[in-house]
Amino acid sequence: MVTVFGMSLSGNCYKVKLLLEQLGRQYVWQEVDIMTGVTHTPEFLAMNANGQVPLLEITPGRYLAESNAILCYLADDTLLWPAEKLQRAQVLQWLFFEQYSHERFIAVARFICKFLAADHPRRAELPHLHERGQRALAVMEKHLADHAFFVGERYSIADIALFAYTHCAADGGFDLSAYPAVGKWLQRVRAQPNFIEMM
């Protein structure tokens, strides 16, 4: 059975939990509070030199890092990562979009608004984060205006990855009512079998 080292409040960790639940896989969840600095201890760095969660322990002592790589590993040979070559690559395209053009603005805005003090100096980053996050949401809105899901008109790990921080974007000060196709897609994701909400 795999073990997930993760923090329940993290969207990147929620992706892995949601996928495991939807696949009906058994797993051990090892809660890790990154706020305590535990991911930068020698013990944790020996498991993941990049000091991040989620981290998947596949077999004792064998680890896989990076939330979206974990999604690909766990969804391989399931309907949630299509086998057809171009669709597989299109899923990867959206996974890289999520990490490079979406998460680092929308998740970071959420972190600043939700977990830091109201007068924290990092709030100065918010205008930039909002501008870039809105650009990512607009790319999603444009795609979802014509498509039910991100790839091949069926639910996949691309939807799981993008759902993780989109559904809670309001926590970071984003107004999702400006993106109606995104809103309808969020409901379609919530209607999938074995869906669970983030903690």
> What residues between 27 and 46 interact with a second copy by CB under 8 A?
none
Tokens of residue 132, six digits: 């870039």
Options 1-9, 16-24, 26-34, 58-66: segment touching a second copy (CB under 8 A):
58-66
- The dihedral over CA atoms of 145, 105, 95, 32, expressed in degrees to the nearest 10, equals -130
Rounded to 5 degrees, what are φ and ψ at 186? -55, -40
In the bound state with a second copy, the residue whose beta carbon lies nearer, of 42 and 193, is: 42
The binder of a second copy chosen from 28, 79, 83, 86 (CB under 8 A): 86
Q: Cβ of residue 68: shortest distance to a second copy, in angstroms?
A: 5
Is residue 100 at the binding interface for a second copy, with CB under 8 A as the rule? yes
How near is the Cβ of 138 to a second copy at its closest, in Å? 8
DSSP 28-82: EEEE--GGGTGGGSHHHHHH-TT--S-EEEEETTEEEESHHHHHHHHHTTSTTS-
Cβ closest to a second copy, residue 90 vs residue 192:
90
Q: Is the four-CA dihedral 10, 16, 17, 22 of positive or negative sign?
A: positive
In total, the chain counts a number of residues equal to 199
Q: Which of residues 173-192 bind a second copy (CB under 8 A)?
A: none
DSSP per-residue string spanning 106-138: HHHHHHHHHHS-TT-GGGGGHHHHHHHHHHHHH
In angstroms, the CA 183 to CA 106 distance is 16
Does residue 139 belong to the site contacting a second copy (CB under 8 A)? yes
CB of 74 to a second copy, least distance (A): 9
Q: Is 146 a binder of a second copy (CB under 8 A)?
A: no
Footprint of a second copy (CB under 8 A): 49-50, 58, 62, 64-70, 72-73, 76, 85-86, 88-90, 92-93, 95-97, 99-101, 103-104, 139, 142-143
